[in-house]
Structure 1
């Protein structure tokens, strides 16, 4: 099935995106990594916007067509950029500290938080299978905390863990907000992606400016220096490719969201492979069992 292949491609790209983030922030200045990576995404979409505006004779795939929107629409998309920006700042700082094989499974619990938000704010009521899924995800998350404790990571007191949890919750709010943008406002996926990518640049700029001023004012030895790495340039293209494959899969009338969403979360497997092959992380078998539990729970949540 083509939509399943596209979903697997999305999962692979999303996993590589997580790896690129980890490689980029390790021992590096997070504010500059964020600014450069979002600038790459903004540049890609700016070129697309210019082509569609000034060279209308060039055929652009329907999936990449950015629609004209009102001032109210621009404000709504700027709001998404603020929400996503806050989530990314927390996630990048967390990734700098946590092993990828711990951070990625925490991030994979996003559907659980989305469901909680739907229960609290949208008055949705889970089915019995979803309650079972919630229990399995929470149990797997607890098991992951025990594995993390063997590496000195205390989930209750470790700030990096709470940063990633907060980033994941903000990401869940972003998913709910995406539903509003796509259904209530009627924006196309390309329109949302394009303008929120452009607006992310001014959102991330103040953090980078603050880093630059601190570097000038304080002892340079105390400031984490910025090193330009190829992985930083790849962060945005990998995410754009993952999202494009995901949207293309959902556009197939035969696609089942109950399969697409949890299958896309298999991206966490890439993080485990990376952790075992490149960064010398430990306890990977136990972490893999926890990840399997989380993915099983997510499948039940989607049902």
Structure 2
């Protein structure tokens, strides 16, 4: 069951990535990110209020947000800081790079998760899983060659380093999620609500220094319908992902790989919507990535 929940998370993440590209293209990144996370927080706020006034009902529909200790709040704050840094890097990279370059690099995230799952959680991959993960990494390297034809030199482009950094931080957060869900026994909606709350506070602090004081930056911001939709789709995807992680048999390295199937939507559909170059050539490494994901699932 947890694998199917992972596939549902991948579906909504793929739609989330398309809306995110639309939201940040030619726009100010910081307020877009604040808008998306705020939309997710507002989506979850009624569940928090309902948990205080209609406890039995919210428990009945499995959306009850539990009370947690200050120590647990601290653990969630750490996740918020990790993901705020990851998103700031990723949104900046997505603003300056094609979605058909950014998404495949992000697809290398399972490799970092794979290493962490082995060393931290002692998850044991088999022969096919080894092949699958290295096939994903090799396919991402092929994307770098295609990227050069679009004027994107991986060794000299700072946005490439930004998306690599975002990918590493995102993978670290994925490993941390297993600790939060399984070791601290947090339910998905409780983790999501407080994570959004602390991330909004962090982003407000950053914007108060880097965006709010500058009139020209405020004028450059464009409100788009896709901004709140990004946050809503992300929370739906995260809910299915965290539900999958609640299963004690769930392997974080496999879930991370299953989530990468979102690349089908981002590269195939997104490439046509945003009219990006070399779509056919990008199908070759895309096939490699999908084959790597298949080997992991097959194994």
What TM-score do the two structures reach when normalised by structure 2?
0.88
Q: Which shows bigger deviation, 129-138 or 151-160?
A: 129-138
Q: In the alignment, is the contact (CA less than 8 A) between 1:38 and 1:200 conserved in 2?
A: yes
Aligned residues: 298
Residues 104 and 11 of structure 1: CA distance in aligned 2, closer, same or farther (over 3 Å): same
* Partner residue, 1:194: 193
Pair 1:237 & 2:232 matched = yes
Alpha-carbon distance between aligned partners in 1 of 2:74 and 2:144, rounded to the nearest angstrom: 39
CA contact (8 A) 1:38 1:201 kept: yes
Q: Name structure 2 gaps, 5 residues minimum.
A: none
Give the structure 2 partner of residue 89 of structure 1: 88
The alignment partner of 1:10 has SS state of helix
Provide the residue aligned with 2:205 in structure 1: 206
Cross-structure match for 1:30 = 29
**Per-residue deviation, 1:193:** 1.2
Contact 1:262 1:299 in 2 (8 A): no
Contiguous gaps of at least 5 residues in structure 1? none
Match of 1:280 in 2: 275
Q: Deviations over 1:191-210 (max 9, x none)?
A: 21111111111111122222
Seen in structure 2, the aligned counterparts of structure 1 residues 5 and 129 have a Cα distance that, compared at 3 Å, is: closer
Distance 2:187 2:131 in 1: 34
| Cα RMSD (Å) | 2.8
Offset of 1:214 from its aligned partner? 4.4
In 1, distance between residues paired with 2:253 and 2:199?
30
Deviation string, structure 1 residues 270-294 (Cα, Å, up to 9, x no partner): 1123333221111112212212212
Decide whether aligned partners of structure 1 residues 223 and 240 sit closer, same or farther in structure 2, where only a CA change above 3 A counts.
Answer: closer
Tell me how far 1:112 sits from its aligned partner.
0.6
Per the TM alignment, residue 135 of structure 1 is displaced from its structure 2 partner at its CA by 2.7
> After superposition, where does 1:1-303 map in structure 2 within 5 Å?
7-56=6-55, 58-60=57-59, 62-119=61-118, 126-216=125-215, 220=216, 225-248=220-243, 261-301=256-296, 303=299
Deviation, structure 1 residue 90: 0.6
Cα separation, partners in 2 of 1:250 and 1:186, compared to 1, 3 Å:
closer
Deviation at 1:40, TM superposition (A): 1.2
- Cα 1:122–1:147 shift into 2, 3 Å: same
